[in-house]
A and B are shown apart, each in its own frame.
Chain A
Amino acid sequence: MALSKQTKKNIQTRTGSGFSRGSYLKQYWFIYGIFILVMSYYVIFKYIPMYGVIIAFKKYTPTLGIWGSKWIGIRNFEKFFGSMFFMRTFRNTLIISFLNLIFAFPAPIIFALMLNELRNEAFKRSVQTISYLPHFISIVVVAGIAHDFLNKNGTISTLLNSLFGMEQKVWLNDSSAYRTIYILLDIWKDMGWNAIIYLAALSGIDVELYDAAEIDGCGTIRKMLNVTIPGIMPTIIVLLILRVGSILSVGSEKTLLLYNPNTYEVSDIISSFVYRRGFGIDSRADYSFSTAVDLFNSVINLILLTLANFLARRYSETSLW
């Protein structure tokens, strides 16, 4: 709470000692105690790992520790950039993220716009409530359902076969279908949830604007184009800029559950590669190499996000920092 001048004066008269350092700390020891506790958490679990990234430039040996391990310069980075894995994981990360941006980003906007047109409140609320549901289902269950439905005799395989005569197969082993599946799952899981923020923006639009547009003879589509979309444009732009800023940060949680060696060519992304190399899933665990790849990714992300934030600040009122 801001201490107004009046308040400070009151405290001063009360304690009679003014604002010397001692009385200030005496007043706020609780706050500073919390700061120490909270900062310890951040230092131990966030900042010491940041110091730990120096193992990317070392040959990490557990017995020698982070500092004691031998420096090897940028050899790990050379190894990564020189391998086939660099192009594969970099390209896949970029493509999956880009497809998500093109298809999964607009989905909640379109969904919110359509929802906004529903006149029957009860129906609207039901649709909305149902649409959030998948957001709360664990990714393990979602991936499990996907594996089952896309299995040889699964729901989707059967459906595709009877509707389009497509071959019944294990779709998640098919490289050409993997990305489509990945993006559709993104949409299925989070479209409804991500629409909330747009619905909030929609509810803020002045009703009089719609009335005026109606008097001017605008139909549903014209109202959408001329009133609704301009009304939520600021929200869209901010979210879009931030989304572009995180184009190369794709988490591994979903990929680890959906991919398999048959599809690595299109499914393996930087973060899943970091996980496999770090914990030695299909080769010897290599802490230093894995950290080097991870660091490369984090640095690019930081640069992109800084750039995005700069743009957000420049072209809209909102920014991250």
Chain B
Amino acid sequence: MSRYYRSSGEVLIRIIIVLVMLFVCVTTLYPFWYILVASFSEPLEVVRAGGMMLWLRGFSLYAYKEVFVHRLFLRSYYNTLVYLTFGVATNMFMTTLAAYALSVKGIKGAGAVMKVIVFTMFFGGGLIPTYIVVDSLNMVDTMWSQFVPYAINTYNMIILRTAFRGIPDSIEEAATIDGATPFKIMTMIVLPLSLPSIMVIGLYYAVEIWNSYFRALIYIRSDTKYPLQLILRQVLLSNAMSQQDMAFVDTNIGLTVKYATIIVSTVPILMVYPFIQKYFVKGVMIGSIKG
């Protein structure tokens, strides 16, 4: 293709596109950059800056000290790590098994099982009936409530099933002829060959648990069991919420303390982001291929 521009109109269009793209980048990155530099600046200077800062104004670690002496912050960080570990293990165990069993072709009754599962994507009992079930299992205010009711995300399961189906039938047929059982086929052939897809789904679940607050809002009562996101909600929205549904002790948390809290709780995601983002994109691709 030739790359010459026919008219000044063409050039103008290109300039506009590049400007829009730059605008998208700036509006996306500025909040993070601002919060980062503000969290390390002198608290009073930050208040004076009125939200406009491109570089440090003074230097202070006050905000970070405050974050770590917060009664519940480290505790909630630990809680989230526990929920994440158990949660991803449960999610992966159940999702992989379900996806494998449903990917095997020619199984009697598999179609019915799939229908029963897919129906739950479109209709559900809703908030309170689900709560009553979790409550009757004595899971409310325990860590189990944070991942057992969410063991399988049907959408993720279907993505994985599609990936498993992508393995050529001939390989599995050959294994069957050699006397391999479905269990052996799964562990020796399907799982190793689908490792990248399994990793993607694992990452999906991990990010989902790290970022979730609603499941804890519903099921967790004691603040010592709060995950990170609920503490974040208290810290970040304290001023907005004190008039609302919760009575909070300290309603005037300093600006820079809020920023430091955001940084500390978001850094893990930001650190792994460059490495995982291409896998996430891959996950969208697997999902978009209809199986």
Q: Is the CB of A197 within 8 A of B284?
A: yes
- Tell me whether A253 is interfacial, beta carbon within 8 Å: yes
Q: Is the CB of A35 within 8 A of B233?
A: no
- Tell me whether B236 is interfacial, beta carbon within 8 Å: yes
Q: Is the CB of A3 within 8 A of B176?
A: yes
**Which residues of B are in contact with A by a Cβ distance under 8 Å?**
1-3, 6-7, 9-10, 13-14, 17-18, 20-21, 24-25, 27-32, 34-35, 47, 50-52, 94, 97-98, 100-101, 104-110, 113, 116-118, 120, 122-134, 137, 148-149, 151-152, 169, 172-173, 176-177, 179, 181-183, 185-186, 207, 210-214, 217-218, 229, 232-233, 235-237, 239-241, 243-245, 255, 258, 262, 265-266, 269, 273-274, 277, 280-281, 284-285, 288, 290
Min CB gap A308→B, angstroms: 11
A133 to B31, CA, bound (A): 12
Q: Is the CB of A145 within 8 A of B51?
A: no
Contact of A34 among B14, B25, B101, B244 (CB under 8 A): B101
A50 to B133, CA, bound (A): 10
Q: A153-B47, A192-B24 are in contact. List 12 more A-B contacts (CB 8 A).
A: A42-B117, A45-B134, A52-B133, A114-B21, A119-B3, A141-B236, A144-B232, A172-B240, A214-B1, A214-B2, A261-B244, A290-B128
**Which residues of A are in contact with B by a Cβ distance under 8 Å?**
1-4, 7, 10-11, 14, 24, 27-28, 30-31, 34-35, 37-39, 41-42, 44-53, 55, 66, 111, 114-115, 117-119, 123, 126-127, 129-134, 136-141, 143-145, 147-149, 153-159, 172, 188, 191-192, 196-197, 200, 207, 210-211, 214, 219-221, 252-253, 256-257, 260-261, 274-276, 278-279, 281-282, 287, 290-291, 294-295, 297-298, 301-302, 305-306, 318, 320-321
A306 to B236, CA, bound (A): 40
A67 to B163, CA, bound (A): 42
A197 to B1, CA, bound (A): 25
Residues in chain B near residue A46, CB distance under 8 A: 120, 124-125
- Listed from nearest, the 6 A-B pairs whose CB atoms lie closest are A49-B125, A144-B236, A52-B129, A155-B51, A1-B172, A138-B211
Min CB gap A89→B, angstroms: 14
Residues in chain B near residue A172, CB distance under 8 A: 240
Q: Is the CB of A140 within 8 A of B122?
A: no
Evaluate whether A200 and B285 lie within 8 angstroms (CB atoms) in the complex, with A50-B124, A141-B236 already known. Answer: yes
Residues in chain B near residue A298, CB distance under 8 A: 123-124, 126
Residues in chain A near residue B97, CB distance under 8 A: 34, 37-38
Evaluate whether A294 and B127 lie within 8 angstroms (CB atoms) in the complex, with A114-B17, A130-B28, A134-B28 already known. Answer: yes
Q: Is the CB of A3 within 8 A of B207?
A: no
A111 to B172, CA, bound (A): 42
Q: Is the CB of A278 within 8 A of B273?
A: no
Residues in chain B near residue A279, CB distance under 8 A: 218
10 chain-A/chain-B pairs, Cβ below 8 angstroms: A35-B101, A38-B113, A136-B207, A149-B31, A154-B51, A188-B28, A192-B28, A200-B284, A276-B245, A291-B129
